[in-house]
A and B are shown apart, each in its own frame.
Chain A
């Protein structure tokens, strides 16, 4: 199965600053990569699918990039409500697999 590795484990950013999260696949997953946000006590939320496509209702400050094995989620101007865990997931190969997550903290 494809192993997804996320970095960093924890990211502390001031409000208004840029946050950059990385996700690496053990083998090529093409552009079949999604990102999810998980705030404490809430259901996880789809942010990005197909590497670059924002899900319905997701603010424009969230953007995704990459292809193959290297992917990035960028939050252009961090807001207080963006704190939580972020997970990448590949769905190019079966079984679908997730990364271990990046925790985003607001300084």
Chain B
């Protein structure tokens, strides 16, 4: 059973960069799966941020413009989220996920709450 665990700073200053890590256990990146980041702001539905394939291909939600970067380190079984120029609107629970063929999400982490505030 694949398990995902998010980690990173819980407080980020406005205009700074939000950086999160997802540790994957019980699975590997060498498959047809895509690995994504999803966030959920308080009182709102989830929002898909972007995804990465084990070969390094990435797709990003256009609503994030060029602020987002997703990368991976297969040797560590980890993938990463970097979101720059954050504002209070980026305050949310951030989840990492495993998505078969880049479709629906089969596995979710428990999420990590990130607050943007000075």
Q: Which positions in A face B, CB cutoff 8 Å?
A: 1, 4, 6, 32, 34, 36, 42-46, 49, 55, 87, 89, 91, 94-101
A56 to B69, CA, bound (A): 32
A sample of 8 inter-chain contacts (CB < 8 A) reads: A32-B103, A34-B103, A44-B105, A55-B106, A95-B48, A95-B61, A95-B62, A99-B45
- Looking at chain B's contact residues, the main secondary structure is loop
Number of A-B contacts (CB under 8 A): 50
Contact assessment for A101 and B45 in the assembled complex, using a CB-CB cutoff below 8 Å: yes
> Which B residues are within 8 Å of any A CB, using their own CB?
44-48, 59, 61-63, 95, 102-111
Let me know if A87 and B46 touch, CB within 8 A: yes
- Residues of B within 8 Å of A32, CB to CB, are 103
Closest CB in chain B relative to A49 CB, distance in Å: 4
A68 to chain B, nearest CB (A): 17
Determine how close the nearest CB of chain A comes to the CB of B70; give it in whole angstroms. Answer: 13
Name the A residues within 8 Å of B102 (CB-CB): 91
Distance A32 CA – B102 CA, assembled complex (angstroms): 12
Contact among A45, A91, A99, A100 for B108, CB-based, below 8 A: A45
Closest chain B residue to A92 by CB distance?
B103
Using known A-B contacts A96-B48, A97-B48, A101-B45, determine if residue A44 contacts B95 with beta carbons closer than 8 Å: yes
Asked whether, in the complex, the Cβ of A49 is within 8 Å of the Cβ of B45, the reply is no
Which residues of chain A are near B44, meaning CB under 8 Å? 100
When the two chains form their complex, are residues B103 and A87 in contact, meaning their CB atoms are under 8 A apart? Answer: no
- Cross-chain contact of B105 among A42, A46, A94, A101 (Cβ < 8 A): A46
On whether the beta carbons of B47 and A98 are closer than 8 Å, the reply is yes
Contacts of B95 in A (CB 8 A): 43-44
